[in-house]
Structure 1
Amino acid sequence: MLMQDTGVYGLAAAKTYLEINPSADIIVLDGAKSIGGVWAAERLYPGLRSNNLLGTYEYSDFPMDEASFGVKPGHHIPGEVIHKYLNAYATKFNIARKVRLQSKVYVVQQDDNAGWILEVATQAGESSSDISKLHAKRLIVATGLASEPLRVSLPGMDDFGAPIFHSREFRAHSDMLKEAKVVTVLGGHKSAWDAAYEFAANGVQVEWVIRESGHGPIWSAPSHVTPLKMWLEKLIFTRLLTWFSPCIFANSYVRRFLHGTFVGRFFVDTFWKILESDLVQLNGYDEHPETKKLKPWNAAFWIGNGLSILNFPTSIFDMVKKGQIHVHVRDIVRLSEKHVHLSNGEILPSDAIICASGWKPQPSIEFLPTTLNARLGLPHTSDQKNDLAVAADRDILGRYPRLRNQPVLNPKYKPLTGDAEAQASINEPFRLYRFMVSPDPDFLKLHNIGFAGMIWTLSQTVCAQMQSLWLTAYLDGKLKIDQAPDQVLWEATLFSQFQKWRHPTGYGNMVPDLVFETLPYFDFIMDDLGLQVHRKKTTFAELFEGYGPEDYREIVKEWKEKNVYSSINIDYTH
């Protein structure tokens, strides 16, 4: 078994597979210098904190206790603590010795024995690499969706004469926190907020540029919201409240009433108006002309994992009001020596530009031949009309009429980079069955490859464990998929098309983007595995208490006790 990446999903996949198959020969590859994926030491930029408060960003079988990791209840988790935690997890469960760091997979091809050939570049020195090939009978790709940066291309970059770097390289340029007098931050997503805050907190003047031809600023929420001051992370995983979001894989009577009837939609719209109004009031967007520039351009109902938590020690909005951070909703037309020229004629002096330009939402490796992308269910460009997607759209909009009234996206929008233009040309998003495996009949018979973490959720650790257990059962041939091949393809298409309609201002047009839909997805996975779906002790708790890692603490043990491997066969042809 070969796995790629030591992030949250890669470590969970390795641990789960080893727990169920203790004699398995596993290799975990990672191109980074240290374990952790996005939490690797070399990617921990100054001031980085998790959106999560203590207790929600941990594996269910390895609690992040205060005594070991030093984080107090009610506090956000520093990036270096998550790095320490993931290393401790890898050590405790004997994964660390199976990891090969600085080993980046560039190309994957099928071999003649129903396995995989991987071309791997291993860092041999400061400027050289050893290229080798590895053969794997089974492969889990767990590179996630924040591996390959979308690079910015701006006129005059060669003339700027000062650092221009992606937020991924913030740590490598952390000296600018002391050396710079003024910096430009480009982007409206969380990493832009982080960079703007950190520079301003260190006394550096920040010129924050949010493109008028972009998607605008994200929704940023306090950790507790609504007039009842509910913990946002728990609110999203409270079963009663998940009913207020349409969800294609949770078609209960209550949800059909709420989203399929006029009266039900009135209650749904009221819920979202209260939630959004509370966020606007708590953040004080409309109280100052500068903070108003940070008010999101689309309603909260439509946003996916672009939602962020205000995890800063002090108020970033106060920094904006005081002028420590100047917000410019303009385009950058060109650069000159240490100056940024905006579309309104304004010229900003700058000692550095930090580009929070996002990520390529697809695996960071090349599958050959390129026709494999379509067969595997990976994003690609097709010149064929997808009639199944058209049928899925009709089904989705028939069930959820509210989704017909899509938000009006920015008519001025244009991709910022050549990479972004190439991404925009991709018209087939992820089409993975259960968001994890290829729906192609041949691969369903081979069950030799799976994808972990090709999904955005607000509960990455629990999702990682869920997907790892499902993939282990699938790759071992112990998970029965009793749909016919055409039904598997239909379901993969239906679920991916739903994401496009549900979160058009988030990542839904390309990848699964789950917020209030996350708990129903977990239910779906648990049901596939034959495990208990509703895990609270009482009906009241099931409806009104938020789910968390603690509710899934024994799922691997439950699976092992329920399944005697030698007595179960998989039927991929039914």
Structure 2
Amino acid sequence: METLDLVIIGAGFFGLAAAKTFHQLNPEKTLAILDSGSTLGGVWAKERLYPGLRSNNMLGTFEYPDFPMDSDTFGVKPGEHMSGEVMYAYLTKYAEKFGILDKIRCHCVILTAEHQDGADGGWILRVRNGGKEQQISARKLIVATGLTSEPFLPHIDGQEEFGVPLFHSRDFVKYADTLDSAKSVTVFGGTKSGWDVAYAYASKGIKVNWVIRESGHGPAWMAPPYVTPLKKWLEKLVHTRILTWFSPCIWGDADGYSGIRRFYHGSAIGRAITNAFWSILGNDVLTLNKYDSHPELKKLKPWSQAMFVASSFSILNYPTDFFDLVRSGTIKVHIADVTGLSARTVHLSDGTQLDTDALCCVTGWKHVPPVKFLPEGIDKELGLPHAPSETNLFTPEAVEKADEEILSRFPRLRDQPVQNKNMRDLLATKGLTTTDAINPSTPLTPWTLYRFMVPPSARFLTQTRDIAFAGVLLNFSTPLMAHAQAIWINAFFADQLPASVLPPLHPVRSETETQTKSLEEIRHETLLHARFGKWRYPAGHGAQFPDFVFDAVPYIDLLLGDLGLKVHRKGGWLAEMTEPYGPEDYRELVAEFAGSVQARSG
């Protein structure tokens, strides 16, 4: 059986960053990245690149800090969104540059990951590669499968007689021939992927019937790349510190501006200013998109308040005007539920029957990792979503205490918005079922990880320290998050975090370290952060996993503070408040971290 120092599951943005950082800091150790796909890239894997796929971000904001995406190499100009092909090429060159390309093993499906008894822990992975199975022993394990790797596709009554392609948006590339052969298609789902698929078909002149559930969350918020009367670049706007203060954030004090945050969220005047900010931001987007100018456009007007949507607040990244396709009738919007299928026909709850050549379902993702962890019952100790009654972390008393702390710090969150008074679960719709034991409807706890990365249990924090999860969050800031998390996870494995962050593995780490964070404090803080999403982002995925936008910079601040690295990285207080943070501000993080470790050790 092969034994490796580290195995990483997943070769997307987070898996590649974790591998590169581990290899940089530990070049003598063995490493493998296992991925079920046929190429690296995760969302940007070559086999997932459907025609017209583009990044939401524009050049300069969607790159690893230590690997800039230059125009000469990748052919993207400032102000342009990156194509899927460019993103795949970029990630491939990143893996080549940092010497990890040969460590990626594709077509590897992880069947089970079994934790080993003993002081050193470790994992035995049962892996299927093609028709063969093998076992791999991993001293450390990073799960970087992300939140968009396993599609959820419900069974729809009558689909056996449907007779034309029915597929999840993840598999759009497999049905790309319908872009040439179809005359009329149906798209089911109002998230950003629904917009993308609708545009891909309609821009080819194909009639699109776009069905957005009347019992769901409604259409996603879609903003132009530049917003506010000052035409600010949206991705940079959410990384501007002075604007992050308007977002109530449970870890926000990590940015060092707790007094300002208390004013905005703890005082009546501050909350009034904060409400005005979100109202202006939301109304600006609604005005720019001119939803009220056309009866079909009005159907795409968001049902939620801008403050509460998190990463479902997306960007219009299309080469032509999306709304022209709606105004012209090429895209017809239906606010109704899908109740069944028959031959070439989609049946809606309002009685409409849609003749169609294909049905693309944008029905979400399974938010638990596609790996069976053993021994049985270890899921709750790992912090994975599980039934609340099975754990003592989510006791009613603990949850009540956490909720009261959240709401007392952020009274605005007590006033929860009603997004849709008729909202119900997807599978509560007539005609939709599932045989899948794991689906988005299962009533589970949220992901419960310390710093959104490591299990908050004694075994994994103070004994074996042999597993971490990377990328269990959604936001606009994927490369920055991947970079910072990779360094933190390496420090976690190597026992290089201060006692004020984690109880030490060794009795004495430094004569100057006297404050040690207890397991009880860690567990309470973990629960606090896990519950926070329920209140802060009810129109997003906050009740299931970390889902945020304006809170990305404070989260990076939190991790850098843990690592003992500089949090404020601008030239003075005015720049700190008004200049947006970007990849360039974190370019030397790995070297800074390595230097700080060396300084502490001798």
TM-score by length of 2: 0.92
Within a 5 Å distance, the mapping from 1:277-356 to structure 2 comes to 277-356=283-362
CA displacement 1:264-294 (0-9 Å, x = unmatched) = 1110011011001100001111111101111
The amino acid that maps onto 1:440 is S
**2:525 is paired with a residue of what secondary structure?**
helix
Q: In the aligned structure 1, how far is the partner of 2:298 from the partner of 2:600?
A: 62
Aligned twin of 1:126: none
Q: In the aligned structure 2, how far is the partner of 1:45 from the partner of 1:190?
A: 15
**2:521 is paired with a residue of what secondary structure?**
helix
**1:566 CA drift (Å):** 8.6
Q: In the aligned structure 1, how far is the partner of 2:402 from the partner of 2:577?
A: 30
**1:232 CA drift (Å):** 0.5
CA displacement 1:122-160 (0-9 Å, x = unmatched) = 02xxxxx21111110100001100010011211110111
The amino acid that maps onto 1:488 is I
Q: In the aligned structure 2, how far is the partner of 1:566 from the partner of 1:246?
A: 35
Q: Is the CA contact 1:108–1:119 (under 8 Å) kept in the aligned structure 2?
A: yes
Aligned twin of 1:493: 527
CA displacement 1:187-211 (0-9 Å, x = unmatched) = 0011110000010011110000001
Q: Is the CA contact 1:47–1:198 (under 8 Å) kept in the aligned structure 2?
A: yes
The amino acid that maps onto 1:364 is P
Within a 5 Å distance, the mapping from 1:129-148 to structure 2 comes to 129-148=131-150
**1:426 is paired with a residue of what secondary structure?**
coil
Q: In the aligned structure 2, how far is the partner of 1:409 from the partner of 1:205?
A: 30
**1:2 CA drift (Å):** 0.7
The amino acid that maps onto 1:200 is A
Q: In the aligned structure 1, how far is the partner of 2:561 from the partner of 2:50?
A: 39
Q: In the aligned structure 1, how far is the partner of 2:347 from the partner of 2:438?
A: 23
**1:24 CA drift (Å):** 1.0
Matched, 1:463 2:481: yes
Q: In the aligned structure 2, how far is the partner of 1:420 from the partner of 1:503?
A: 26
Aligned twin of 1:45: 50
Matched, 1:14 2:19: yes
Work out which of the residue numbers 380, 388, 405 in structure 1 matches 2:398. 388
Matched, 1:75 2:80: yes
Aligned twin of 1:154: 156
Matched, 1:405 2:410: no
Q: Is the CA contact 2:152–2:440 (under 8 Å) kept in the aligned structure 1?
A: no
Aligned twin of 1:414: 425
**1:263 is paired with a residue of what secondary structure?**
helix
**1:327 is paired with a residue of what secondary structure?**
strand
Aligned twin of 2:582: 548
**1:408 CA drift (Å):** 1.1
**2:111 is paired with a residue of what secondary structure?**
strand
Q: Is the CA contact 1:378–1:431 (under 8 Å) kept in the aligned structure 2?
A: yes
Aligned twin of 1:427: 444
Q: Is the CA contact 1:121–1:132 (under 8 Å) kept in the aligned structure 2?
A: yes
The amino acid that maps onto 1:428 is T
Work out which of the residue numbers 427, 450, 456 in structure 2 matches 1:439. 456
**1:343 CA drift (Å):** 1.1
**2:218 is paired with a residue of what secondary structure?**
coil
Q: Is the CA contact 1:478–1:565 (under 8 Å) kept in the aligned structure 2?
A: no
Q: In the aligned structure 2, how far is the partner of 1:45 from the partner of 1:317?
A: 21
Q: In the aligned structure 2, how far is the partner of 1:355 from the partner of 1:439?
A: 36
Aligned twin of 1:121: 128
Aligned twin of 1:196: 198
Q: Is the CA contact 1:376–1:438 (under 8 Å) kept in the aligned structure 2?
A: yes
Matched, 1:368 2:374: yes
**1:81 is paired with a residue of what secondary structure?**
helix
CA displacement 1:20-73 (0-9 Å, x = unmatched) = 111110011001000111110010111100000001111111100000000000
| Number of residue pairs matched by the alignment | 563
Q: Is the CA contact 2:425–2:441 (under 8 Å) kept in the aligned structure 1?
A: no
**1:514 is paired with a residue of what secondary structure?**
coil
**1:206 is paired with a residue of what secondary structure?**
strand
**1:541 CA drift (Å):** 1.2
CA displacement 1:276-319 (0-9 Å, x = unmatched) = 11000011111111011111111101001111100001111111
Q: In the aligned structure 2, how far is the partner of 1:389 from the partner of 1:248?
A: 15
**1:357 is paired with a residue of what secondary structure?**
coil
The amino acid that maps onto 1:250 is G
Aligned twin of 1:472: 490
**1:108 CA drift (Å):** 0.9
**CA 1:160–1:47 in structure 2 vs 1: closer, same or farther (change >3 Å)?**
same
CA displacement 1:156-189 (0-9 Å, x = unmatched) = 1011100000011101100000000000000001
Q: In the aligned structure 2, how far is the partner of 1:12 from the partner of 1:414?
A: 36
CA displacement 1:210-241 (0-9 Å, x = unmatched) = 01122111100011001110011011000000
**1:412 CA drift (Å):** 3.4
Work out which of the residue numbers 97, 103, 108 in structure 2 matches 1:103. 108
The amino acid that maps onto 1:184 is T
Q: In the aligned structure 2, how far is the partner of 1:304 from the partner of 1:370?
A: 34
Q: Is the CA contact 1:272–1:300 (under 8 Å) kept in the aligned structure 2?
A: yes
The unaligned stretches of length 5 or more in structure 1 are 124-128, 569-574
The amino acid that maps onto 2:590 is V
TM-score by length of 1: 0.96
Work out which of the residue numbers 524, 537, 540 in structure 2 matches 1:503. 537
Aligned twin of 1:560: 594
Q: In the aligned structure 2, how far is the partner of 1:506 from the partner of 1:369?
A: 33
Over 4 Å off, 4+ runs: 419-422
Work out which of the residue numbers 533, 547, 551 in structure 2 matches 1:517. 551
**1:565 CA drift (Å):** 8.6
Q: In the aligned structure 1, how far is the partner of 2:399 from the partner of 2:559?
A: 23
Aligned twin of 2:250: 248
**1:214 is paired with a residue of what secondary structure?**
coil
**1:420 CA drift (Å):** 9.3
Aligned twin of 1:57: 62
Please, what is the CA RMSD of the aligned residues? 1.3
Aligned twin of 1:167: 169
The unaligned stretches of length 5 or more in structure 2 are 1-5, 428-432, 503-515
Q: In the aligned structure 1, how far is the partner of 2:375 from the partner of 2:161?
A: 40
**1:342 CA drift (Å):** 1.2
**CA 1:192–1:422 in structure 2 vs 1: closer, same or farther (change >3 Å)?**
closer
**1:424 CA drift (Å):** 2.8
Work out which of the residue numbers 263, 266, 282 in structure 2 matches 1:276. 282
Q: Is the CA contact 2:179–2:204 (under 8 Å) kept in the aligned structure 1?
A: yes
Q: In the aligned structure 2, how far is the partner of 1:145 from the partner of 1:200?
A: 28
Percent identity, aligned pairs only, is 48
Q: In the aligned structure 1, how far is the partner of 2:136 from the partner of 2:144?
A: 17
Aligned twin of 2:9: 4
**1:563 is paired with a residue of what secondary structure?**
helix
**1:422 CA drift (Å):** 4.4
Q: In the aligned structure 1, how far is the partner of 2:386 from the partner of 2:347?
A: 36
**CA 1:566–1:97 in structure 2 vs 1: closer, same or farther (change >3 Å)?**
farther
**2:369 is paired with a residue of what secondary structure?**
coil
Aligned twin of 1:185: 187
Q: In the aligned structure 1, how far is the partner of 2:389 from the partner of 2:239?
A: 39
